[in-house]
Each structure stands twice: as structure tokens, then as C-alpha cells.
Amino acid sequence: MGFEPDRDRFFQYATFIMLALTAVVCACYALLFVNPRVNPIAALRVETPTPDLVVAALPPTWTPTPPNTPTNTPPPTATFTATPPPTSTPPDTATPTFVPTPTIFYVIVTGVPPTRRPTQPPPPPAQPTTPPLPPAQAVEFRLGRPVESAPNCGAWYISGTVYSDAQGSSRVNGLLVRIWASGIEQGTDTTGTHSNRPGYWEWIFGHGTATNGEVAIVNPDGSLRSPRIPFRLTASCNDADAVQQNVIDFVGGQ
């Protein structure tokens, strides 16, 4: 129990000594880092001799001398001098000889002067011959009565009925009615196929359509069986000249 304080004091001294030695070593390293020349070990190293390199001087390079080359001088070019042609002497100018002008005598004959005949007018140009007109195409059907046009804000369409004669004796079914609008073929309807109405046909256009068109009865090959009847539709149904429906009837016979 009496040795404990001495042992602790020993360890304290040893610790102080180690710290002091560590500080000295660190100071030495720092000094060597800052000034390497104070390193005592570097003084013991054997210095390596630096070789003395002497470069031998090379002899000058031989430069050949070009031989004397004769200069090819072109011979002088002959200059052509044109010789002027000899000057021709003009011939002698002939002296004109005076020739007297003959005297002209006029004989006056009295009498009645001749009558001047009137100038004939040029003939009229020939009129081109007009070729004869081809015979009118015979048709089987024609417009039965004037086209009935009226406004209708509910639908834009054309319709009609085909009769066998002008008296309306009977209505004809199975005929092809073709419609053109704005110069374009719209389609073909067949009479008697709408609500069991004999001879009746119709064609409905879109709401607000404005167009000019034609309608006619045709054969299956497209040839006409009636004249092309014109019609028109307007876009607005409230104008004074509004037209949204056209009733076009055809009749048979000539």
C-alpha cells in the first residue's frame, strides 16, 4: 500500500519524457522539411560526378557548285513590214456635151369631153354557208305545266309526277328521273317508289343548300327522254325570293 504513490509518480514522469521526445522529433522533421541542407545524413552521401559531355564539332557540309549552263536565247523574230500598193492614177474625166432639148408641140382638139364611167363597187364578200341544224331530238316526255316554286323552311327538295299524256289519264311508274345540281350529276330516282304514290318522284337536298340545277327523264344508258328542266334553291327561307321546293311534272306525248 505504501508503494502506490511512487508508482503513479513514475508513470507521470515517463509520460512527460515521451511527450518531450515526440515534440523534439517533430521539430527535427519540420526543420528538415523547411531546410533540407541541415540534414546531417546528406553530408555523408558520396556525390555522383557530373559527366562532362563534349560534342565533337562536325566538318562543314559540302555544297556542290552548279555548272555553268548556257542560256538559250531565242533568235530575233523577223518583223514583217507591209508594202503599200501603188497609187493608181484616175482616168481623165469626160467633158459632158450639151444636147439641146427638143420642143414639144401640143395639138388641142375641141369637142365634147368624154363621160367618165362610174366605178364599179367591189363585190360583197361571200357569206359563209351555215350548216343545217341537226333535227331536233324527239322526246317522249315534256314539261306538263310551269314549275311551282315556294319557300319551305322544313326541307330543301324537288319533286313531281309523270303522267302518260297532257290530260293526266294515268301516272307512269318505273321511269328514271335524273337530277343535276351545280353542273354535277346528283343521282337518279325512279317514279312510283315513294309511299305507294304512282308516278311520283322526289330528290331531297341538304338543309340550307343554295344551287341551280336541272332535272330530266332518261333512259338506262343516260340518253334523254325529256328536255332538261331548270330549277333553283336558295339557302335562306326567309327572303322575299326564297325557294326551297320545286314541283316539276312531266307528261307524255308530243
Residue 226: partners with Cβ closer than 8 Å, 6 or more residues away: 139, 140, 141, 142, 143, 216, 217, 250
Q: Which residues pair with 142 in a beta bridge?
A: 251
pLDDT-based confidence at residue 238 (cuts at 50, 70, 90): very high
Q: Match 558520396 to its residue by C-alpha cell.
A: 46
Question: What is the tens place of the pLDDT at every residue in 13-22?
Answer: 889 899 999 9
Q: Are 155 and 246 in contact (CB under 8 A)?
A: no
Residue, of 98 and 250, whose pLDDT is higher: 250
The chain-wide mean pLDDT, for the chain, equals 80
The predicted structure's pLDDT at residue 28: 83
Give the pLDDT confidence score for residue 39 in this predicted structure.
65
The per-residue pLDDT for range 214-237, each reduced to its tens digit, is 999 999 999 999 999 999 999 999
Confidence (pLDDT) at 241: 94
pLDDT classification of 48: cutoffs 50, 70, 90: low
- The SS3 call for residue 64 is coil
pLDDT over 60 at 2, yes or no: no
Side chain identity at residue 39, one-letter code = N
CATH code, 141-252: 2.60.40.10
